[in-house]
């Protein structure tokens, strides 16, 4: 990619990174910190079952989710900035082809082309599901129903994390 274009994306990535770290700071200082202060103390959160606690937890989990998303994007931005430095920016991590400029303009921190992203997103249906079912079958025969449910959930979560990129 030509130098001018690279500088353009570098600026874009750095601006986005600033915005996100600002958001994380804001959540840390106002969101999570405020909820902590307003709650009647950390320990009581665990033995108190009031409705207030429910919405409190909801607000906090929303903050956590927003912060989590921002942290993930910052990681991706740092990866993209590294690639600008070593001259591999704009190449798909999976197939090695150039990622179209329009896609980079829309998602400058993306590390994969659209085709590969679609493949990654479909992967759970293609490869993980059958394995999951096999595991479930086995565990059913052994009669540990609870274990499957938690195993299934963590697998889903992992895929969700992966597909966010």
- List of residues contacting Zn ion (CB under 5 A): 92, 94-95, 113, 116
Residue 36 or 95: which CB sits closer to Zn ion? 95
Distance CA 83, CA 93 (A): 10
Residue 33 or 95: which CB sits closer to Zn ion? 95
Residue 70 or 113: which CB sits closer to Zn ion? 113
Q: How many CB atoms lie within 10 A of CB 39?
A: 17
Q: Provide the minimum distance between the beta carbon of 29 and Zn ion in the complex, in angstroms, as a whole number.
A: 39
Residue 27 or 116: which CB sits closer to Zn ion? 116
Whether 73 and 20 have beta carbons less than 8 Å apart is answered as yes
Backbone angles phi, psi at 98, to 5 degrees: -70, 135
Q: Provide the minimum distance between the beta carbon of 126 and Zn ion in the complex, in angstroms, as a whole number.
A: 17
Q: Provide the minimum distance between the beta carbon of 110 and Zn ion in the complex, in angstroms, as a whole number.
A: 10
Q: Provide the minimum distance between the beta carbon of 27 and Zn ion in the complex, in angstroms, as a whole number.
A: 33
Q: For residue 98, what is the DSSP state?
A: B
């Amino acid at each position: 990619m030509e130098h001018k274009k690279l500088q353009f994306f570098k600026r874009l990535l750095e601006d986005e990174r600033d915005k996100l770290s600002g958001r994380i700071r804001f959540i840390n200082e106002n969101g999570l910190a405020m909820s902590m202060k307003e709650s009647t103390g950390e320990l009581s959160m665990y033995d108190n079952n009031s409705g207030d606690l429910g919405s409190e937890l909801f607000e906090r989990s929303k903050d956590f989710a927003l912060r989590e998303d921002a942290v993930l994007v910052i990681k991706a931005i740092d990866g993209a900035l590294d690639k600008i430095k070593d001259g591999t920016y704009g190449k798909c991590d999976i197939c090695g082809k150039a990622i179209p400029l329009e896609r980079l303009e829309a998602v400058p921190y993306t590390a994969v082309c659209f085709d590969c992203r679609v493949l990654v997103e479909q992967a759970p249906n293609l490869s993980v599901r059958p394995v999951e079912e096999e595991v479930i079958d086995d565990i059913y025969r052994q009669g540990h129903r609870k274990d499957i449910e938690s195993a299934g959930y963590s697998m889903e979560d992992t895929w969700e994390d992966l597909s966010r990129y």
